[in-house]
Amino acid sequence: MRRAALPVAVAVGAAVLAPGIAVAQGEAAAQGEAAAQGEVYCTPTDPGLAELSGLTVIGETVYAIGDSGADDRVAQLDPSCAVTRWIPNPVDPYDVEDLASVDGRLVLADIGDNDRRRDTVGLVRLDPETGAGDLARLTYPDGAHDAEALLIGGDGRPVIVTKDGAGSGVYSTDVAVADLPSPGPTALRRVAEFVPDDTGTAGGPPLLAGSSLVTGGAVTADGTLAALRTYTDVYLWSVSDGDVAGALGRPADRVVAAPARPQGEAAAFTAEGDLLLASEQGLDPAAPLPPVDVLRAADIAPARTSDPTPVADTEEAPAEPTSSILVPLVVAAASVLVIVGVTALLVVRVFRRR
């Protein structure tokens, strides 16, 4: 019977742990997780795109930018992903991590902050025809954050989603990008929290939880569909009245697994509503540049009608525990049961020796 003490405790722990794992997997399934899909749109060859971190489309023209160290210029691409011209960044960048557009102007998201020490982040508004531009600085209400996703909805307001593994903050302003003062700063408001699922989808850099880190965002030209991507997956929301911030405050309408790439960070919708996904080269500098993938509009349409009721911001009303919280708690409970079982076994041995 002494031998049974530890196995029984472990078995009880496993029984408790199993439902927690089922919850984590069940959330993605409930939101419509789809198998990896898509096709190659084009393949970049210019070494200046090795750090490709942001994409946007104006009309039929695709623009791309790299992140820190390669963010001093924007590439204009042809349909084969060849660079037709480079447009200088009119502002000395700190760390541009995403690219968006509004009213024919490019918006460079200088929001990267790996060390979380910046007092302000910034949006660079750039006219792709003349090269003229300016900087609008922004401040977070709760300290520095690293971020890689910028979305601009039909209402013109910028939405920044941070790159925090435990839950990404969603921040916005009360004014449209075009009306942000230069240089500012303008205060951001925290409007919601987004917690990606642990989907287990393959892809992304090694040794990182690729499915939990937000790396890019995009909105369709008509403002009715928003996307956030991680290294491995794409989350999609129907948007009403151009309110992207409000849409991100509720569960995604659909989750689609992205094609496995070394370091997928960029996303942009074409005029037809197809979604382009792009990746950095990754850790191997000798490897060919990854292709730009495309997910067709028909394959990423939301699977259900959106619930118009937003989820309250976590600063005002704590959200219900998610799988990312429940699983560690269940693991901790299972560990306690194991410790209790081992302790009981030792006590039995001590008393028998007496």
pLDDT value for 26: 35
126 residue type, one letter: L
Residue 229 CA neighbour count, 13 Å, CB half: 33
Separation of alpha carbons 137 and 318, rounded Å: 29
280 residue type, one letter: E
Q: How many Cβ atoms sit within 10 Å of the Cβ of residue 134?
A: 16
pLDDT value for 154: 95
In the structure encoding, which two tokens stand for residue 228, read together?
């956030």
Separation of alpha carbons 229 and 212, rounded Å: 10
pLDDT value for 304: 53
In the structure encoding, which two tokens stand for residue 351, read together?
């008393």
Alpha-carbon distance values, 323 to 35, 196, 236, 319, 320 (Å): 21, 10, 19, 12, 10
Q: Report the DSSP pairing between strands 133-139 and 186-187.
A: parallel
Separation of alpha carbons 111 and 123, rounded Å: 8
Separation of alpha carbons 265 and 248, rounded Å: 19
Check if the beta carbon of residue 269 is closer than 8 Å to that of residue 56: no
**Helix extents (H) in 88-243:** none
Average pLDDT per 10 consecutive residues for the chain, totaling 354 residues: 31 31 35 66 96 97 94 97 98 97 98 97 98 98 97 97 91 98 97 94 86 96 97 97 96 96 97 97 94 96 56 41 36 42 38 36
pLDDT value for 25: 29
Q: What are phi and psi of 111, to 5 degrees?
A: -125, 5
Separation of alpha carbons 315 and 331, rounded Å: 27
In the structure encoding, which two tokens stand for residue 61, read together?
């023209």
pLDDT value for 4: 33
Our CA dihedral for 277, 280, 284, 287, rounded to 10 degrees, sits at 60
pLDDT value for 208: 80
Separation of alpha carbons 200 and 198, rounded Å: 6
Domains of the chain: 2-24+328-353 (no CATH), 34-321 (2.120.10)
Question: Can you point out the beta strands (E) in 182-245?
Answer: 186-187, 189-194, 214-219, 225-230, 233-238
pLDDT value for 143: 96
Separation of alpha carbons 108 and 38, rounded Å: 27
